[in-house]
Amino acid sequence: MSTITTPPVPSYRSRNPVPYRWTIREYRALDRTNLFHDVKTMLIHGELYVLPFPRPPHDVAMTATDNFLHAACPADHYVRNQQSLDIGTDSDPGPDLAIVPGSVDDYSAEKPRVAAIVVEVADESRLLDTTTKAELYATAGVPEYWVIDLEHRQLLVFRDPHPLPAGLGATAYKIHLTLSPTESVSPRLAPTASILVSELLP
């Protein structure tokens, strides 16, 4: 059984607070403590974040996008709503929505490690979603990533993860699209399914 380890105790000579970085195993073990049972959390590079309660515009965009993804989802995939994605690092960004291969039963013992598309609804999190999270998803090999930008009423589409020049040790999306409410979008996983960006916005 996984346990949460005790943070290291700094030397008495230290005059500065010592941050404690969570491991994925410790973060997963939190599920059994009921400590964060009523809030959503995420782990980014070992740092634990408690997310603010979503506002109504976020809920509307989430519901609209969830409905569209369910309608577009191929039979051999399924949609996950605000559930973990194991990207193989010290992070679990907890995407708002993701389409993953297989069925719910395939993940009764472990989190999915791959996703065909990930969607984040950015109310006040646009900077994080388009920088840190975009890099995490690109590095994990997620082929397509959408950010629904509520503030600017647009959809940001990221596609084709591509390693950056040698020495940088990072991966980024090669294609960046900014779509207005009057434009339509189709996920690459389901190219015949199309929706106006305005229909994903509150």
How far, in Å, CA of 102 to CA of 151, rounded?
A: 34
The whole-angstrom distance between residue 186's C-alpha and the CA centroid of its chain comes to 19
- Tell me the two tokens of residue 192: 């015949």
Q: Which has more pLDDT, 32 or 71?
A: 71
Q: Which has more pLDDT, 48 or 197?
A: 197
Buried b / exposed e along 85-120 (16+ C-beta atoms within 10 A): bbbeeebbbbbbbbbbeeeeeebeeeebebbbbbbb
Please say if the pLDDT value at position 80 is more than 60.
yes
Please say if the pLDDT value at position 10 is more than 60.
no
Are the beta carbons of 31 and 167 closer than 8 angstroms? no
Q: Where are the alpha helices (DSSP H) in 38-176?
A: 56-72, 126-130, 132-139
How far, in Å, CA of 126 to CA of 150, rounded?
A: 9
pTM to 2 decimal places: 0.86
Tens-place pLDDT, residues 173-195: 999 999 999 999 999 999 999 99
Show me where the domains of the chain are located.
52-200
Are the beta carbons of 126 and 146 closer than 8 angstroms? no
Are the beta carbons of 90 and 146 closer than 8 angstroms? no
pLDDT, residue 187, reads 97
The whole-angstrom distance between residue 64's C-alpha and the CA centroid of its chain comes to 17
Strands 117-122 and 144-149 come out as parallel
At the topology level of CATH, where does 52-200 sit?
tt1808, chain A (3.90.1570)
Q: What is the mean pLDDT of residues 144-151?
A: 98
Are the beta carbons of 117 and 189 closer than 8 angstroms? yes
The whole-angstrom distance between residue 149's C-alpha and the CA centroid of its chain comes to 14
The whole-angstrom distance between residue 132's C-alpha and the CA centroid of its chain comes to 10
